[in-house]
Structure 1
Amino acid sequence: MEWIIKTMQNSPELAIFLTLALGFAVGKIKIKGFSLGSVTGVLLMGVLIGQLGITISPTVKSTFFLIFLFAVGYSVGPQFVQGLKKEGLPQIAFAALVCVSCLLIGWVAALIAGFDIGNAAGLLAGASTISAVIGVASDTINQLSIDSSQKQQMINQIPVAYAVTYIFGTAGTAWFLAFIGPKLLGKDVIKQTKDYEQSLGGLIQDDEPGLEEAYDGTTFRVIQASNAFFDQSRTVHEVEDFLIKKGWPIYIEKIRVSSNNKIINDPTPDTSINKGDKLVLNGPIDTMLADEDCIGKEVVDLKLLDFKVENLKVIVANKEIIGESLQNLKFSKQRHGVVILKIHRGKVTLPLLKNVKIQRGDIIEIEGRKGDVDKFASYVGYPERPSNITDILYVGIGIFLGGILGSISFRAGNVPLSLSASGGVLIMGIIFGWARSLRPTFGNIPAPSVWLMNNLGLNMFIAVVGINAGPDFISGLKTSGVSLFIAGIFVSLVPMLIGILLGRYVFKFNPAITLGACAGARTTTAALGALEDTLQSKVPALSYTTTYAVGNTLLIIWGVVIVLMMS
Structure 2
Amino acid sequence: MSDWFVTTLRDHPAIALFLTVALGYPLGTFKYRGISLGTVATTLLVGILVGQLHIQISHNVAIVFFLLFLFAIGYRVGPQFVRGIADDGVMQALFAVVVCAVTLATAYGVARLAGYSVGYGAGLFAGAATASSALGLSTTAIQGLGLSADETHAMIGALSTAFAMTYIFGTIGPILIISQIGPWLLHIDLVAACRAYEKRMGGTNHGSGTSWHHYVMRTYRLLDDWPQVGQKVGEIEASDAHSRCFFDQIRRDGQVIEATEATVLKAGDVVSVAGVRSSLRALFVIGAEEVEDLELLAVPVAGVDVVVTKRAFDRKTLTELAHMAATHGIFLTRIRRGAMGEEIPILPQTTIHRGDVLTVVGQPQRIRASISAIGRADFSDEQTDVSVMFLMIALGALIGVPAVMLDGVPLTLSIAGGVLFAGIAAGWQRSVFPTFGNVPPAVIWFMNVVGLNLFIAVIGITAGPSFVAGVREVGISLFLWGMLVTTIPVIFALLVGKYVFRFDDALVLGCCAGAGTSTATLGLLADRAGSQVPALGYTIPYAVSNTLLTIGGIVIVTLL
Q: What is the TM-score with the length of structure 1 in the denominator?
A: 0.93
| CA displacement, residues 76-128 of structure 1 (integer Å, 9 cap, x when unaligned) | 11111111235222112111110000000001111111211111111111111
CA shift for structure 1 position 231 = 8.0
Matched position secondary structure for 1:342? strand
Q: Does 1:527 align with 2:524?
A: no
CA shift for structure 1 position 340 = 0.8
Moved more, 170-179 or 77-86: 77-86
Match of 1:308 among 300, 308, 313: 300
Matched position secondary structure for 1:349? strand
Aligned to 2:511: 517
Contact 1:74–1:432 under 8 Å retained in 2 = yes
Aligned to 1:131: 132
Distance in 2 between the 1:295 and 1:115 partners? 82
- The residue type equivalent to 2:18 in the other structure is F
Aligned to 1:210: 210
Distance in 2 between the 1:408 and 1:401 partners? 13
CA shift for structure 1 position 439 = 0.5
* Matching of residues 465-476 of structure 1 within 5 Å: 465-476=459-470
Moved more, 60-69 or 218-227: 218-227
Q: What is the TM-score with the length of structure 2 in the denominator?
A: 0.94
Matched position secondary structure for 1:107? helix
Q: Does 1:122 align with 2:123?
A: yes
Distance 1:294-1:169 versus aligned 2 partners, 3 A rule:
farther
Match of 2:256 among 256, 260, 263: 263
Distance in 2 between the 1:406 and 1:497 partners? 35
Moved more, 179-188 or 406-415: 179-188
Aligned to 1:235: 232
Contact 2:511–2:541 under 8 Å retained in 1 = yes
- The residue type equivalent to 1:101 in the other structure is V
Q: Tell me the percent identity.
A: 39
| CA displacement, residues 389-430 of structure 1 (integer Å, 9 cap, x when unaligned) | 111112111101110111111100210110111111111111
Distance 1:518-1:187 versus aligned 2 partners, 3 A rule:
closer
Aligned to 2:369: 375
Distance 1:15-1:286 versus aligned 2 partners, 3 A rule:
farther
Aligned to 2:245: 250
Distance 1:148-1:356 versus aligned 2 partners, 3 A rule:
same
Distance in 1 between the 2:113 and 2:151 partners? 21
Moved more, 387-396 or 190-199: 190-199
Distance 1:231-1:410 versus aligned 2 partners, 3 A rule:
closer
Distance in 2 between the 1:14 and 1:28 partners? 22
Distance in 2 between the 1:434 and 1:495 partners? 29
Q: Does 1:452 align with 2:453?
A: no
Contact 1:164–1:481 under 8 Å retained in 2 = no
Aligned to 2:183: 182
CA shift for structure 1 position 502 = 1.6
- The residue type equivalent to 1:70 in the other structure is F
| CA displacement, residues 235-257 of structure 1 (integer Å, 9 cap, x when unaligned) | 22234245x36x63221122222
Aligned to 1:166: 167
Q: Does 1:540 align with 2:537?
A: no
Distance in 2 between the 1:193 and 1:210 partners? 15
Distance in 2 between the 1:471 and 1:425 partners? 31
Match of 1:341 among 321, 330, 333: 333
Aligned to 1:95: 96
The alignment covers a number of residue pairs equal to: 557
Distance in 1 between the 2:52 and 2:172 partners? 29
CA shift for structure 1 position 531 = 2.2
CA shift for structure 1 position 146 = 2.1
Aligned to 1:558: 552
Contact 2:188–2:505 under 8 Å retained in 1 = no
Matched position secondary structure for 1:31? coil
CA shift for structure 1 position 284 = 3.6
Distance 1:295-1:541 versus aligned 2 partners, 3 A rule:
farther
Matched position secondary structure for 1:81? helix
Aligned to 1:30: 31
Contact 2:399–2:415 under 8 Å retained in 1 = yes
CA shift for structure 1 position 224 = 2.5
* Uncovered stretches (5+) of structure 1, i.e. residues with no partner: none
* Uncovered stretches (5+) of structure 2, i.e. residues with no partner: none
CA shift for structure 1 position 187 = 5.4
Distance in 2 between the 1:231 and 1:83 partners? 47
Contact 1:179–1:534 under 8 Å retained in 2 = no
Matched position secondary structure for 2:290? coil
Distance in 2 between the 1:270 and 1:352 partners? 31
Moved more, 551-560 or 163-172: 163-172
CA shift for structure 1 position 563 = 0.4
Distance in 1 between the 2:434 and 2:423 partners? 15
- The residue type equivalent to 1:376 in the other structure is S
- The residue type equivalent to 1:249 in the other structure is R
Moved more, 414-423 or 163-172: 163-172
Distance 1:157-1:301 versus aligned 2 partners, 3 A rule:
same
- The residue type equivalent to 2:328 in the other structure is H
CA shift for structure 1 position 289 = 5.9
Distance in 2 between the 1:54 and 1:371 partners? 61
Aligned to 2:217: 220
CA shift for structure 1 position 178 = 1.2
Aligned to 2:19: 18
Distance in 2 between the 1:458 and 1:13 partners? 16
Distance 1:394-1:481 versus aligned 2 partners, 3 A rule:
farther
* Matching of residues 276-287 of structure 1 within 5 Å: 276-285=268-277, 287=279
Distance 1:147-1:232 versus aligned 2 partners, 3 A rule:
closer
- The residue type equivalent to 1:71 in the other structure is A
| CA displacement, residues 306-363 of structure 1 (integer Å, 9 cap, x when unaligned) | 4422111111111112111122113322211211111111121111122222111111
Matched position secondary structure for 2:172? helix
Aligned to 1:73: 74
Contact 1:230–1:275 under 8 Å retained in 2 = no
CA shift for structure 1 position 286 = 5.6
RMSD, aligned CA: 2.3
Contact 2:244–2:275 under 8 Å retained in 1 = yes
CA shift for structure 1 position 559 = 0.2
Match of 2:404 among 410, 432, 438: 410
Contact 1:398–1:429 under 8 Å retained in 2 = yes
Distance in 2 between the 1:386 and 1:540 partners? 31
| CA displacement, residues 120-166 of structure 1 (integer Å, 9 cap, x when unaligned) | 11111111111111110000000113222111111122222112111
Matched position secondary structure for 1:252? strand
Moved more, 275-284 or 513-522: 275-284
CA shift for structure 1 position 38 = 1.4
Distance in 2 between the 1:482 and 1:230 partners? 79
